[in-house]
Amino acid sequence: MQMTPPPSVIQKIMQLALPMVGTQFVIVGSGFLCMTMLSKLGHLVLAASALIFSVSLTLMVVSISLLFSLSILIGQAYGRQDDREVGSLWQQGWLLSFIISLPCLLIYWYIDSILIFFGQDPHAVAIVKVFFRASIWGIVPLLLGICNQQLCYGVHKQRLDMLANGIGVIVLLFFARTLIFGKLGMPPLGVAGFGYAQAIECLFYFLFTTACLYKLKYFKKFNLFQLRLSQTWDVLKNIIRIGWPISLQMNGEMLSFFISTVFVGWLGTVPLAAFQVMMQYEVLSVIPVFAISQACGVLISQAVGSRQFNDIKKLSHGSLYITVLLCGLIGMAFIVFPKTLISFYLDIHDPKNAKVLHLAILLFAIMALSQLLDGIRNVLLGSLRGLLDTRFAMLAGLLTIWLVSVPLGYLFAFPFKGGAVGAMLGWTVGMLISISIFVYRWRVVSRSYGAGQSTSISP
């Protein structure tokens, strides 16, 4: 393996990943700004926003993760130049979205009872309930919009997704400011205003992208709107067959993330507020890594579909190279500039925030290492998914999370009295173990493609 991948490999990965990164930064950056709006509503709202953030992120990933197989399957069909298959996959994705939305609606409606069951502060839960009752209107548009997004990724039209999200952020910020604080003659709705603004943004994205898929000439060859649901049940089965291990693994990870938040919630509002500040930046650091991972999976799937097997290892190694460099720079920022980053959420000069500030600085130091490990793990997962090897990754990921990360997080946080720092250390140890497993699996699976045929990437 070359120490530095060929420039053509880096270029190919970045051409697909950069628009994804830009899109996700725009989305999460807007959420970042909305959270700063909520933080102005008081300390209790800031603590409750940690629950809003972790629970909404968990539920979103749980609901959409089954649809992530679409870009991989569409990428293979696109590599084979099977236009009809591309259209069939997209249609079945829509059908699956309606099915998934039903349990999501129930969870959103009864979220307060679920959080009370897990022992969360009733005052914070009351605020969380208001948010979810408002944002429930965006569930169906969100799921349908994800199908449109995965189609764009699979056929290299990710710039359409970036454009739609860029305009959508303007919509979100406008309605968030208007509804949270009561502008332009509207009454101030507080946390509910943020929920309604998110629902409006999801509806806009779905309508805008669907209109583009219908009107743009490029998509005509896929016959997206030629109804053929009854003829393609095997396509739906294939989406579920490839997607359920991805979904189960991501759901297990997000559930463990939720459990970690619950652990921190048991420690009080000060650790919860510090954890919330740290997690805002954790999500920002994950954005480019997740985009590189997904781009790697799509490109590998297209290489498999077009039988360009020599590209596979080059794409995986190139993605790892980019990720390590990027996460190293991000980790340095967390260590060198923690107070600057925290100051966006807290007045670091206010003595009342001294405990939150001290704890947040410790969490940032641990996150410098954990986000590097998580980046490597995500790229290895993306590489395996590109080869449709999803079941082993699911089993290995879930076992390390639930047999290592969660138990160690609880052990370090409570019996060993490590608090929020201990909860994060448990997660970090689990990631280190899972990386070693995924490296071994990748070497085994990719070896079968080593003989290869032609390659489109110059050495």
DSSP 49-83: HHHHHHHHHHHHHHHHGGGGHHHHHHHHHHHTT-H
Contacts of 336 (CB under 8 A, 6+ apart): none
Q: What is the Cα–Cα distance from 63 to 139, expressed in whole angstroms? A: 9
- The predicted model gives 310-317 an average pLDDT of 84
Q: Which of 24-33, 97-106, 251-260, 283-292 is predicted with the least confidence, judged by mean pLDDT?
A: 24-33
Q: Is 432 exposed, middle or buried (0-12, 13-18, 19+ CB in 10 A)?
A: middle
> Quick one: pLDDT at residue 348?
79
Per residue in 204-231, pLDDT tens?
A: 999 999 999 999 999 999 989 987 756 5
- Say if 456 falls within a structural domain: no
Say if residue 327's pLDDT is above 80.
Answer: yes
Q: Which amino acid is at 176?
A: A
Write the DSSP symbol of residue 163.
H
> Quick one: pLDDT at residue 28?
64
Say if residue 1's pLDDT is above 70.
Answer: no
Tokens linked to 395:
């089993």
Domain range enclosing 165: 10-447
Extended strands (E) in 171-312:
none
- The predicted model gives 323-333 an average pLDDT of 91
Q: What is the Cα–Cα distance from 45 to 71, expressed in whole angstroms? A: 37
Tokens linked to 423:
């909860």
Q: Which of 150-154, 203-207, 227-231, 339-343 is predicted with the least confidence, judged by mean pLDDT?
A: 227-231
Q: How many distinct structural domains can be found in the chain?
A: 1
What band does 431 get if pLDDT is binned at 50, 70 and 90? confident
- The predicted model gives 336-356 an average pLDDT of 80
- Taken as a whole, the chain contains a residue count of 459
- pTM > 0.85: yes or no: no
Question: Degrees (nearest 5) of the Cα angle 141, 143, 149?
Answer: 100
- In order, the DSSP letters of 323-364 are HHHHHHHHHHHHHH-HHHHHTTTS-TT-GGGHHHHHHHHHHH
Q: What is the Cα–Cα distance from 234 to 240, expressed in whole angstroms? A: 10
C-alpha distance from residue 449 to each of 20, 275, 387, 396, 400 (Å): 27, 43, 10, 22, 28
- Say if 402 falls within a structural domain: yes
- Residue 152 has, within 13 A of its CA and on its CB side, a CA count of 27
- The predicted model gives 308-320 an average pLDDT of 84
CB atoms within 10 A of CB 2: 11
- The predicted model gives 421-428 an average pLDDT of 84
> Quick one: pLDDT at residue 98?
93
The answer to whether the beta carbons of residues 346 and 280 sit under 8 Å apart is no
- The predicted model gives 131-159 an average pLDDT of 90
- The predicted model gives 401-421 an average pLDDT of 86
Tokens linked to 269:
């509002």
Q: What is the Cα–Cα distance from 375 to 7, expressed in whole angstroms? A: 21
C-alpha distance from residue 58 to each of 106, 250, 258 (Å): 15, 9, 7
Write the DSSP symbol of residue 187.
P
Q: What is the Cα–Cα distance from 126 to 120, expressed in whole angstroms? A: 10
Q: What is the Cα–Cα distance from 146 to 427, expressed in whole angstroms? A: 28
Buried b (16+ CB within 10 A) or exposed e, 112-124: beebeeeebbeeb
The answer to whether the beta carbons of residues 20 and 158 sit under 8 Å apart is yes
- Say if 137 falls within a structural domain: yes
Q: What is the Cα–Cα distance from 366 to 373, expressed in whole angstroms? A: 11
Q: Which of 94-108, 147-161, 251-265, 323-337 is predicted with the least confidence, judged by mean pLDDT?
A: 251-265
The answer to whether the beta carbons of residues 301 and 82 sit under 8 Å apart is no
> Quick one: pLDDT at residue 459?
33
Q: What is the Cα–Cα distance from 273 to 264, expressed in whole angstroms? A: 9
- Say if 203 falls within a structural domain: yes
- The predicted model gives 161-181 an average pLDDT of 87
Say if residue 455's pLDDT is above 80.
Answer: no
Contacts of 272 (CB under 8 A, 6+ apart): 47, 50, 51, 261, 264, 265
- Say if 183 falls within a structural domain: yes
- Say if 455 falls within a structural domain: no
Contacts of 10 (CB under 8 A, 6+ apart): 318, 321, 322
